[in-house]
Amino acid sequence: MAENRVVVVTAKRKTAIARGVVRPGTGIVRINGYRVEVYGDELVRLFIMEPLIIAANVLGEDKLNTVNIYVTVKGGGFMSQAAAARSAIAKGLVERFQDEALRNAFRDYDRYLLVDDARRKEPKKYGGPGARARFQKSYR
């Protein structure tokens, strides 16, 4: 395995698309140019850091500090962006380190760390205000 190779991954959640780059470095993680420690509010930050915490437990903190992770995410809401970003981070770490124990740890914790969530919004149909709801009927 080449230690200086660069890994590029993508992940989706609803209409949010994340593109992640994992390259050799010093352990920096950036989301849309911001360090992950200051990105969004605390709930979003903890949600995005889940794969980093799992990877630190499985691989060790010193091995995780040998890569920099850059994620660009567009579209969707803030939680969809967070889910896409965490998925991109997890996929990138698995592809970079080629570690089966890490893959199994991610899969056991949450399957959507490695597999994109295929659920999408159902399209609106005629006869109502949404996909399933119908307009109210009045008899008088």
Per-residue pLDDT of the chain (140 residues; tens, 9 = 90+): 567 889 999 999 999 999 999 999 999 999 999 999 999 899 999 999 999 999 999 999 999 999 999 999 999 999 999 999 999 999 999 999 999 999 999 999 999 999 998 998 899 999 999 999 999 999 98
What are the boundaries of each domain within the chain?
A: 7-113
In DSSP terms, which residues pair with 31 in a beta bridge?
34, 71
Contact 37, 76 (CB under 8 A): no
Give the pLDDT score at 1. 52
Q: Residue 2: what pLDDT?
A: 63
For residues 92 and 7, the answer to whether their CB atoms sit within 8 Å is yes
- How many whole angstroms separate alpha carbon 112 and alpha carbon 27? 24
On whether the CB atoms of residues 64 and 103 are closer than 8 A, the answer is no
User: The CATH number of 7-113 is which of 3.10.310.30, 3.60.15.10, 3.90.1310.10, 3.30.230.10?
Assistant: 3.30.230.10
Can you name the residues that pair with 117 across neighbouring β-strands? Answer: 13
Give the per-residue pLDDT at 4: 83
